[in-house]
Amino acid sequence: MKILFITNMYPVRDYIYFGIHVKEQIEAIENIFDIKKEIYFINGRASKWNYLKSIFKINSLIRANNYDIVHIHFGLSGLFLLFNPFLKIPVVLTIHGTDINSNKGLGMLRFITKLVVKRVHNVIAMNDSMVSKLTMYRKKIVKIPCGIDINQFKEIFVQKNPLKIIIGFPGNKKRQEKNFQLFLKIVEKMKDITEIEVIEFHDMTREEVVKNLNKIDLLLLTSTSEGSPQIIKEAMACNKPIVSTDVGDIRYLLKDVKKTFVINSFDPKNFISPIEEIIKLSMEKRKTNGRNELLKMHLDAENVAKSIYRLYEKLI
């Protein structure tokens, strides 16, 4: 099977984990199945003009090659489809969150995404909230959250200071939707109770992410918007306690995971008691059953890759 993957998220030299979940998903499919892949990366961070250039370059690429499937990651990456009404190849679109939730530019991104959704054969959504925003196209939508490599993300021994509580912030604090200001307010309140160290999960290699996940006492996610955050699933695979705002599919992911809390609020004081409940436990007891729950949901990379490949097979 010959597949063209089109994405505006892919690791680059100055942002090594940008779109790492897309890269790893493609590699998982390639590792299990006999596919020939080509990846077209639209570097929108470098220049927004690259989206316009992609319209012509991708359509030329499709004309010159005999692809069986085109798989687009992120709605705006499918802009080329709006200029190729006669495309006969089956097309799959994965929406990742911002593309369907964003109100930026008077909702233009969401508007373009819906136009692309109309043109594709199937849409992969991360969570039920995304599905609810596309009710007109419900028959073509399948819910398949991204998986993680459970062989890489697991419990490992890391030396810790028992007198210090380490809290992980999941993401780049400069990204507005990550809501770092709320995180800071919570941490400042916690500093009245105990000594706190913060680890920001940004610009790390995969090995560094694993090591630091095992180093933290808990992960604190304060985002205003998410799809199906990989860092939550990675923390689950390492059996780490989690406190999170109620965004994306996090409530679903953590519904049966002990020592995790999903807070339907953006008020800092509502986070203090759950965090205290975790840090009052001895170091040995600050562990969850997250890994087992993740496996029950089949959210390991291999099972997710198989689900996506089955979707491809139905289309050709």
Instruction: Encode 26-49: b = buried (16+ Cβ within 10 Å), e = exposed.
Output: bebbeeeeebeeeebbbebeeeee
Question: Over the stretch 4-53, which tens digit does the pLDDT of each residue have?
Answer: 999 999 999 888 889 999 999 999 999 999 999 999 999 999 999 999 99
Query: How would DSSP label each residue in the chain?
Result: -EEEEEES---BTTBTTTTHHHHHHHHHHHHHS--EEEEEE--TTT-THHHHHHHHHHHHHHHHS--SEEEEESGGGGGGGGG-TT--S-EEEE--SHHHH--HHHHHHHHHHHHHHHHSSEEEESSHHHHHTTGGGGGGEEE----B-TTTSS-------TT-EEEEE-S-TTSGGG-HHHHHHHHHHHTTTS-EEEEE--S--HHHHHHHHHH-SEEEE--S--SS-HHHHHHHHTT--EEEES-TTHHHHTTT-TTEEEES---THHHHHHHHHHHTS-GGG---SHHHHHHHTT-BHHHHHHHHHHHHHHH-
Structure tokens of 252?
């679903």
- What does the mean pLDDT of the chain come to? 95
Instruction: State how beta strands 2-7 and 69-73 pair.
Output: parallel
Instruction: State how beta strands 122-125 and 141-143 pair.
Output: parallel
Question: Over the stretch 273-300, which tens digit does the pLDDT of each residue have?
Answer: 999 999 999 999 999 999 999 999 999 9
Is residue 245 within 8 A of residue 263, CB to CB? The reply is yes
Residue 178 has pLDDT above 90, yes or no: yes
Residue 106 has pLDDT above 60, yes or no: no
301/304 Cα distance (integer angstroms): 5
192/172 Cα distance (integer angstroms): 25
Mean pLDDT of 226-241: 96
pTM of the entire structure? 0.92
**Residue 186 identity (one-letter amino acid):** I
> What domains can be seen in the chain, in order of their start residue?
2-147+300-315 (3.40.50.2000), 165-296 (3.40.50.2000)
Is residue 271 within 8 A of residue 244, CB to CB? The reply is no
**What pLDDT is attached to residue 146?**
95
Query: Which of 178, 225, 238 has the alpha carbon at shortest distance from 202?
Result: 178
68/107 Cα distance (integer angstroms): 33
pLDDT band at 97 (very low <50, low <70, confident <90, very high): confident
Residue 243 has pLDDT above 90, yes or no: yes
Q: Is 217 exposed, middle or buried (0-12, 13-18, 19+ CB in 10 A)?
A: buried
Question: Over the stretch 59-93, which tens digit does the pLDDT of each residue have?
Answer: 999 999 999 999 999 999 999 999 998 899 999 99
